[in-house]
Amino acid sequence: MTKQKAEIGVIGGSGLYSLLSDGKAIDVETKYGKPSDSITIGELAGRMVAFLPRHGSKHTIPPHKVPYRANIDAMSQLGVERIISTSAVGSLRANLMPGDFVFPDQFINFSHGREDTFFDGEPEPVTHVSTAEPYCDEMRQIAVAAGDTTNVKYHNTGTVIVVSGPRFSTKAESRFFRSIGGDIVNMTQYPEIALAKERGMCFLGITVITDYDSGVDENRSIEPVTLDVVNARMSANVGKTRALITEIIKTLPEKRSCSCKDSLVNAAVSVK
Ligand SMILES: [Zn+2]
């Protein structure tokens, strides 16, 4: 059987459970277990795309139980070189408003207990990959241009704080995250991005602000987030998210001119 191939992988977060209208669903096995769900492969804007809903198509997998290694390994088995990852985020800044999109350029990880590397000791070599620039700059620039074309309100940079969840932050945590330079909060961006880096993949985060986390100090009238708020905001934005993804895929150059594919060069420890 010929294995299906795709060049771009889309991992759908809360609200985005399907993408390809006439795709073919396949089950991919990995040595890290099963991915979150079947992966749908099909054409979008003339390119072969693999789509995977991060929490499963019925949203049954919580953020701390997502099989991150299996998801990224499955994508790399399919030949995917670039990942577009969508997710819901809370805002830590008054000017980052619900409904806005943010294309992050940095993360700070506060999640814990997750299997966050493919290089887990023998037979794998000890490997230290740089995450100084975790997001693909080339893809982020293309996302910014797509944001203009599709007329969505977006922010072209941002630092995402990643927490384990599944609970939302306390007010003190929100204040702390803001004080250390966080702009938005999310539960899934890590280790997805670090694992993609270990496979030399490009990674673009498309995040949608659904709420103000536990409120922002500048405006005491803002209520802390609830799940109802997140769901309503995600549903309202799913059309825009699809339009953005389609435009990005349409305009992505076929060949990568970024340095993402070189992430493993000189990264393995070798004692002579
Ligand atoms: Zn790249």
Question: Tens digits of per-residue pLDDT, 155-187?
Answer: 999 999 999 999 999 999 999 999 999 999 999
- Non-local (6+) Cβ contacts of 188 within 8 A are 13, 54, 63, 66, 87, 162
Asked whether the predicted pLDDT for residue 2 surpasses 80, the reply is no
Question: What is the 258 CA–ligand 1 centroid distance (Å)?
Answer: 5
pLDDT of residue 221: 64
Worst-scoring range by mean pLDDT, 211-220, 227-236, 242-251? Answer: 211-220
Lowest pLDDT segment from 60-74, 136-150, 208-222: 208-222
Q: Which domains does the chain have, with CATH numbers?
A: 8-262 (3.40.50.1580)
The predicted pLDDT at position 218 comes to 58
CA of residue 52 to ligand 1 center, whole Å: 20
Catalytic residue among 100, 116, 183, 211: 211
- Whether 213 is catalytic: yes
Tell me how far the alpha carbon of residue 263 lies from the centroid of ligand 1, in angstroms: 10
pLDDT-based confidence at 219, cuts 50/70/90? low
> What is this structure's pTM?
0.94
Q: Inform me whether the pLDDT recorded for 20 exceeds 80.
A: yes
